[in-house]
A and B are shown apart, each in its own frame.
Chain A
Amino acid sequence: MRNKKPASGGRFWRNFKNQKYLWMMSIPFVIWAFVFSYLPLWGWTMAFQKYKPARGFFEQEWVGFDHFKTLFSDSQFLLALRNTLAMSGMGLVAGFIFPITFAILLNEVRLGIFKRFAQTVSYLPHFVSWVVAAGIVTKMLSGENGLVNDILLGIGLIDTPIQFMAQGHLFWGIVTLSDVWKETGWNAIIYLAAIAGIGPELYEAARVDGASRLRQVWHITLPGIRPTIIVLLIMSIGNLLNIGFEKQFLLQNNLVTDYSQVLDLYSLKYGLGMARYSYGTAINIFNSVISVILLFTINGIFKRTTKESLL
């Protein structure tokens, strides 16, 4: 409706003059996006060189896929890959189950004040930084006066405090549950909005048919938010390798590195920390390429099996 026909070539400059303010308002940011989003892609060439910061582009020594070969033969890298996949997989599952469940439960709360209070409280951890959250988690799980140990000791489940943060095999779970604690309330907002969009007449009809509340949830609420769930699922799977490293960085310690090292931390440590820029860039590229492949694969699968898709 609002589309006017595109200007033909000759009138371009006249239109350009008419729209000079629109151009002036967008061009600086286009340049910005070029510099900060597109230019780093140029840096990918480093991964195929033996990059030396002092040299110009044409003076670099090209080594082809050597860095990638080193990468795949490094056991530390494979460990980081395993940890990344494990934690993002666990995060993916928990990140769907908990917010969806919480949204559905909250939606079933009939007491207005209680519902509002619960929702407001549930956002709280989202606004806190991971630095603070990691501090809190460490404190709660601490072997000395940590709440979790106090409770477990109190009910007689254990005799001596468990050093949660010092046990490698617990690290994945700790990261996942910390994330659940921090983001469940916030992520539930989208599902709550989707639930609010379901027609009340559906529930009305179900009630007349004598469906219990649980059955209404199962047959109306869940199918009602299915499109939202699928779109969010595709997006999160595309980001499977981009789980970042904030949580892992802040919660890790020397005792659990075998379980806490993720790809980004690995590139930070072996790339930046040791000034092996080429090697680190190779990790970044690996990350990006896998993410894109995942995104397209998952999107394709969903396109075929369901009608929902992102691209």
Chain B
Amino acid sequence: MGNTALTGKSWADRVFDFIVYLVVLIVIVVTIYPFLNVLAISLNDSVDSVRGGITIYPREFTWDNYLKIFTFSGLITGFKISALRTVAGTLLGLLSASMLAFTISRPDFQGRKFVSTFLAMTMYISGGLIPVYMLVKDLGMMNSFAVYIVPGLVSAFNVFVIRSFIDGLPYALQESAKLDGANDFTIYCRVILPLLKPALATISLFLAVGQWNAWFDTYLYNGSSPHLTTLQYELMKVLQTTTSGNGGDYRSNIASMASNQVSPESLKMAITIVVTVPILLVYPFIQKYFVKGMTLGAVKS
């Protein structure tokens, strides 16, 4: 126990500081090294890569891997579908969550209790994989783009995060808008939405990450529609070719994987980078918002 609080750092505190910085440094290296390694391999000549020993910079630099992967037909389609579902899913998700949050935040709304309870229940109940699969099938949404957007449209969690933001806004704003003759829809569009920007930024990040990274719905519902497969799904197929017969327990996926030739490491890493970079470009911009959003969400739930 150092008793030298007034005279500077004690011996124990110095050791403590050293350990803190050392461990945090190790965490940084462990987190970031794999990404730099993947990047380096993707930029290295694919024949040379087989020799191994590439760390964080390419040994024989080349763009070839990237040029090659863009000749895979699945990749361009995948990119388009992924981008489309990310944009559409994020916008519709934002719209639905903010609308619902607005209505259940209104103290005078008669359906307030019903709507919020009905919604909150969805956080605790779920039919499970097979009943949902059967429902999607019965609704005729197999092999359609809609399956990426519709079943996951509303997230109760997001609604409640936005609602707690709205609760933080002065209600007088809405009342004065009402006196000026605005209807509830106008109030939502003109008064509430502009003030919600930080919350919407957070939620849009959650939604966009979820949409961009999703692959299982493609696997489950759209695996046999080449024009609807997403980028993550295409990457999944390519990566899973190394580990023999991996993962493909289901439907036509085994066949489609087996017919794929095992592609060189460098190509796989190039695809990995192409799949990863778009989402990594977004988060530094929204970082200042999501820390606040996460915290609020955690407290409220």
Q: Which of B60-68, B193-201, B273-281 contacts A (4 or more CB under 8 A)?
A: B273-281
Contact A118 B111 (CB under 8 A): no
Quick one: which of A213-242 are within 8 Å of B by CB? 213-215, 228, 231-232, 235
Task: Find chain B residues with CB under 8 A from A108 CB.
Answer: 16-17, 20
Interface assignment of A65: CB less than 8 Å from any CB of chain B: no
Selected from A124, A131, A231, A269, the residue in CB contact (under 8 A) with B215 is: A131
Residues in B255-287 with C-beta less than 8 Å from chain A = 265, 268-269, 272, 275-276, 279-280, 282-284, 287
Most buried by B among A135, A207, A208: A135
CA A211 to CA B151, docked complex, whole Å:
54
Of residues 22 to 55 in B, which have CB atoms within 8 Å of A's CB atoms? Answer: 23-24, 27-28, 30-35, 37-38, 52-54
Q: Are the C-beta atoms of A19 and B268 separated by less than 8 Å? A: no
Q: Which of B5, B34, B127 contacts A210 (CB 8 A)?
A: B5
Chain A residues in the interface with B (C-beta under 8 A): 2-4, 6-7, 12, 15-16, 19, 21-26, 29-30, 32-44, 46, 102, 105-106, 108-110, 114, 117-118, 120-125, 127-132, 134-136, 138-140, 144-145, 147, 150, 165, 181, 184-185, 189-190, 193, 207-208, 210-215, 228, 231-232, 235, 246, 249-250, 252-254, 264, 267-269, 271-273, 277, 280-281, 283-285, 287-288, 292, 295
Cβ contact within 8 Å between A269 and B250: yes
In the assembled complex, B144 has its CB within 8 A of some CB on chain A: no
B33 to chain A, nearest CB (A): 7
Q: How many residues of B contact A (CB 8 A)?
A: 103
Answer whether A4 and B107 are a contact pair too, CB < 8 Å, given A32-B154, A135-B239, A246-B216: yes
How far is A136 from B271 in the complex, measured between Cα atoms in Å?
Answer: 12
Question: Using a CB–CB distance below 8 Å, which chain B residues touch chain A?
Answer: 1-5, 10, 12-13, 16-17, 20-21, 23-24, 27-28, 30-35, 37-38, 52-54, 96, 99-100, 102-104, 106-111, 115, 118-119, 121-122, 124-135, 150-151, 153-154, 171, 183-185, 188, 209, 212-216, 220, 232, 235-236, 239-240, 242-247, 249-251, 265, 268-269, 272, 275-276, 279-280, 282-284, 287, 291, 294-295, 298, 301
5 shortest interchain CB distances as A-B pairs: A40-B127, A284-B128, A43-B131, A145-B52, A129-B213
Query: Can you list 7 residue pairs at the A/B interface with Cβ under 8 Å?
Result: A19-B109, A36-B135, A36-B150, A140-B37, A212-B10, A268-B129, A280-B130
| Separation of A140 and B269 alpha carbons in the complex (Å) | 12
Most chain A CB neighbours (cut-off 10 Å) among B2, B34, B128, B276: B128
Q: Across the interface, do B1 and A212 meet the contact criterion of CB distance under 8 Å?
A: yes
Q: Is the CB of B52 within 8 A of A280?
A: no
Contact B235 A138 (CB under 8 A): no
Contact between B128 and A22 (Cβ–Cβ < 8 Å)?
no
Instruction: Give the residue name and chain of the A residue nearest to B249 (CB).
Output: A269
Give B123's nearest chain A residue, CB to CB.
Answer: A37
Chain B residue nearest to A285 (CB atoms) is: B128
B154 → chain A closest CB, angstroms: 5
Q: Which residues of A contact B265 (CB under 8 A)?
A: 139
- Which residues of chain A are within 8 angstroms of B132 by Cβ–Cβ distance? 36, 40, 43
For the complex, give the distance between the alpha carbons of A136 and B50 in Å.
16
A207 to B10, CA, bound (A): 12
CA distance A19 to B245 in the complex (A): 58
CB distance from A101 to the nearest CB of B (A): 8
